[in-house]
Each structure stands twice: as structure tokens, then as C-alpha cells.
Structure 1
Amino acid sequence: MLEICEVQVFGCIVGMYGINCENNCSLYCAYGDCDRTTGTCLDGCKSGYIGRFCNKTCSVGKYGSQCSESCGHCSNNSTCYHVDGSCKAGCEAGYKASACKTPCDDGEYGQNCQYMCTGNCINGEACDKASGHCRSCVEGYQGFKYDRDIRQSPTSSDTKKNDVDDLKINKMILENEKTHARQIRQHIVLIC
């Protein structure tokens, strides 16, 4: 004669661990599960987190699964979000997309590639993706971005406005270069 015995198996439910299942697994364990005794995450960590218990965020400049990705070209040398690499302050000039790793397409320039080149670069070359400047321009144009038709009367109000705009752009670029150089010097001092 066959007897059937009742067997009971006790253990923690998914997401809990400890002697009496009193502890929660880390919210950042992949799939929300951990070892029922130690609390160690069984399947690794969610994106942006590391450690046995997935309780540490990626170091500055890193993001993603196992913090294996490097941040892109975030504006003002800011750091990216440790989970998905997005740049909260936007991209530095010449780059676009949320992680700022995508260079501007030919014909685009500036922060987040928000501007279009004039199309007056010599031989149809693309303008500089950061500044919009051309190495050389087609005949009849001048100015920082070669957007001023020099065949116009030199006294026209458009020409004077373009001269002022060129000066403002050149001043902005010089200020950005000074700021960037200062940041590099500060970074070198911090490293030393």
C-alpha cells in the first residue's frame, strides 16, 4: 500500500532574504531577486549600479550595464546620468542625441546640432560641426560663417549687423576657449 505524505518546503518569497525572510533584496538587483540567505543579487545589477548588493552607482563618467559605458560629450563638462548616459545639460557643440555621442551630421553645427551651416563653404565642404566655420568660402562671401554676401553695399544695415554678429560670435568662442582651458588647468591641478 502506498502512503502519501505531506511535504512542506519553506523559503523566502522572491525579493526577500534572511533567516526569517525579514530583509528586502536591493531594488537594483536585476529581476529583483537575490540569494535567500545573503541578499547578494543573483543575476547582477540593473543598469547604472554595481556591487554584490547593487547598492553602488557608477563612478563619475561611467554609466550603463556594469558601468561599462563612458559618458559622451556633455555640455560644460558635466557628467551624464549613471543609468542611461543622458546629459541633463545637453551636448557640447558638435554633438547630439541624449547621450551626446553622435556627432552632428554634415551641414549641422553647434550645441545639440541646433544650427544649419550656410552652405557657402568652398567645394561644398561641410562647416565645422562645433562652430559652423568653414576652412574657406565660395567666392563672394565672407564673415565668420561665410554668410555675408560681400557684393552688397558696404554701408547696408545688414552688413553692419553681420559685422556686429561676427564680433559677438568670435568673442563667445574666445570666452569658451578660455573657460575650457581654465577647466583643464583645474583638472590637472586636482590630479596632481
Structure 2
Amino acid sequence: MRERCFGKIFNYVILCMSLVSGKDADTNLITKLEGVLKTNMSSVAFNWTSENAVDGNVGPDPEQCLCCSGTTYNTISWWTVDLGKKYPIEKATIYSRETENKFGQLQGFQLFLRNSSEQTNQLYYDDSTTTETNTSVFDIFLSNVLARYLTIQKAGILTICEIEVFEGDCMIGTFGEECSKQCHCADNRICDRFTGQCSTPVCKIGWIGTACDTKCEVDAFGENCGEKCYCAGNTTCTIDYGICPDNCRKGYFGTHCNKVCPDGAFGTNCNDKCFCDGNGTCSKDEGICPGACLAGYMGVHCNIAEKEDKLNLLLVIGVSAGGGVLVIVAIV
């Protein structure tokens, strides 16, 4: 709970108002991370140190409460807080001193966010572009930006009486610590911020698991990974609709390469035929019959007709006779 108090009679506060309640009180990272977060600032005036801006007391005046952070005059003055790790930030609320209109030690500030100490600050709010000059509380909505560091800066003197940083939700499709894990819920629905469980128990096609974060195994696709595909070579199909990048594996055909060649067919896309004896059929991949070929057929795959083979078997004999050539062609 944060309170801001205004005015005094004989050193007694005569008016206080609550500033944080309900859900906001539960999601204020400044309160949640007390003792963990770290603050720093460009300089210190009147012992108004950087940690005063996160002490839970919003003022109203630093000279009375000694609860605000303030710098000396600098070309650029800044104050920063390190949350320890990245959080999705829904909103930041910044409180100035009660006499801000007189001193102007927060107006015109800029708010920067970043994820790591190496990353360049990203500007998310620029008060110098606003026309509002009669306010001491600045609510800045940040749409669940993922950030670890928040920095406030302005030219001249900077005085901040309190800052509150409210935790939001991970962006759609992410969950877990620092929103670093992915969930794949159907219809792009959100998943639980901490467990990743989808708001409806349905995953995107090609994903399974409570958090819909387990990809279909190789050669599996579809809803609940319940379909199989058989692609040629070392390739596999897409996990959603089971499309192979090239041909089907020998012995299979179809849009998803999951239909077995009918009896008497084999090979790539079942384009080859075999004729096995009796009720036998050849292997779907290489076309090998388990026994003899059907009468009238021969060959490794039992797909060469004997009659056709004889008609195509030509015996050509060349005999030299007195400088001439005698050619005898025999059909066997």
C-alpha cells in the first residue's frame, strides 16, 4: 500500500490518500522485489539517495519526508533501477514532489527500458512532448514490455519521490521466467504466465503437452501428433499438415506420404508393378516377391513379361564370306 499525504497542522498530517490497492498492490515489482532490486543515480543532493524512490513513501515533499531521490544539477541527470531479471511490465507510475510546478524537477523527463547491461536504452516515454504541466503523478502504460532495467533521465536537476513498476503478462506465445519459454495454444490464445497451460486444452496443430510446448516427433504430424508421414531420404514432413519436402519414401504415396502402396505396386510413389505367384505380393519398397513370379513373368521384380522378353531377344551372328558379310537374325 502506498499513501500520499498533503499538508500539515502543527506537524500532524491532515489528509492522506491511498494510491495502490487491489491487483496493483500484488503486481508492484518494487514491493515484490524489496531487498533484491538495486538502484543508482548520477549524483546525490541533500542525502536524497537513489533507494528513497523505492521506499514505499511517495512524499509529498522531500524536505519534509526525506523520502525522495534527488540529484544535483547536471547536463543529464538520471536514476535507474535493476530488477535483477527481465519482467513483462504493464505500467510504471512515477511520483514527483508536491511542489513540482514550482521546481520542475521531474517534468520533461524520459523513461528508458532495456533487457541487459549491454543493450542500448530504448525510449518508451518522453514527457517533453506532452502538454500536461499540472500533474505530480505520471502513469505510463507499457503494454507488457519485457525489461530488466528502467532509467529516468532529464536535463538539470532530477527529483523522484517514488516509482512503482507493475508486472504484466508475457506476450502471447511465451511464459515462464523472463518469458523465455514458448507455448503454442490453438487460435493464438494466451497461456498461463507461470505454467504455460493454455486457456483452452487445445494446442496448435503439430504440438502437444500441457503447455503445448512439445513438438511432434520425426515422421509425426497433425492434431495431437496423431498422424504419420513417410518422406524420402532423411527428410520429414511439416508438423502441422504433414507435407514432405520431396518424394515419398519407397512404398508410400499420397499428399502426406502415409498411404501404403496397394498390392502389386511398389517403389517411389508406387509407380512400379510386380506380379508374384499365388496370393503373394512383393515388398512395398523394393518390389521383391516372397516366392516365384506369376506365370508369364520374370525378373528381379517379376515385372518383365516372358513373351515380350523373347520378342526382344535378338541373336545377331556375323560371318565373313569372301569379303562379304552374312547376317543371320534369329528370333528365339
Q: TM-score range by the shorter chain?
A: 0.5 to 0.7
Query: 1:78-103: CA deviations, max 9, x gaps?
Result: 22211123322322111122333321
Taking a change above 3 Å as real, the CA distance of residues 122 and 55 of structure 1, as seen in their structure-2 partners, is closer
Counterparts in 2 of 1:31 and 1:105: CA distance versus 1, 3 Å = same
Distance 1:102 1:86 in 2: 13
RMSD of the alignment, in Å?
3.6
Q: Work out whether residues 25 and 41 of structure 1, in 8 Å CA contact, stay in contact via their aligned partners in 2.
A: no
1:127 aligned to 2:282?
yes
User: For 1:1-192, what aligned pairs fall within 5 Å after superposition?
Assistant: 19=90, 21-22=143-144, 24-26=171-173, 28-34=184-190, 41-43=198-200, 44-50=202-208, 54=212, 57-66=215-224, 68-69=225-226, 71-117=228-274, 120-123=275-278, 125-134=280-289, 135-146=291-302, 147-149=304-306, 152=310, 155-156=313-314
Q: Greater RCO between the two (CA within 8 Å, min separation 6)?
A: 2
Amino acid across the alignment from 1:46: K
Percent of aligned pairs with the same residue?
Answer: 28
Paired residues of 2:219 and 2:236 also in contact (CA < 8 A): yes
Structure 1 contact 109–132 (Cα < 8 Å) conserved: yes
**Alpha-carbon distance in structure 2 between the residues aligned to 1:53 and 1:111:** 38
> Which structure 2 segments of 5+ residues have no match?
1-87, 92-142, 145-169, 174-182, 316-332
**How far did 1:56 drift?**
5.8
Q: Structure 1: state its 5+ residue gaps.
A: 1-16, 158-192
**1:155/1:55 CA distance change after superposition, 3 Å:** closer
* Equivalent-residue separation in structure 1 for 2:208 and 2:237 (angstroms): 17
Where is the strand percentage greater, Structure 1 or Structure 2?
2
Which residue type is aligned with residue 137 of structure 1? C
Which one-letter code corresponds to 1:139 in the other structure? A
Task: Kindly indicate whether the alpha-carbon contact (under 8 Å) linking 1:133 and 1:144 is maintained by their aligned counterparts in 2.
Answer: yes
SS where residue 112 of structure 1 aligns? helix
- In 2, the alpha carbon distance for the partners of 1:51 and 1:141 equals 53
Change (3 A) 1:36 1:149: closer
Which residue type is aligned with residue 295 of structure 2? Answer: E
Q: Which one-letter code corresponds to 1:121 in the other structure? A: C
The structure with the greater share of residues assigned to helix is 1
Q: How many residues align?
A: 138
| SS of aligned partner of 2:187 | helix
Deviations 1:118-168 (A, max 9, x none): xx42236433322233331233432122314167267438xxxxxxxxxxx
**Distance in 2 (alpha carbons) for counterparts of 1:124 and 1:37:** 60
- TM-score normalised to the size of structure 1? 0.53
Measured after TM superposition, the shift of residue 25 of structure 1 is 1.8
Larger radius of gyration: 2
Change (3 A) 1:108 1:24: same
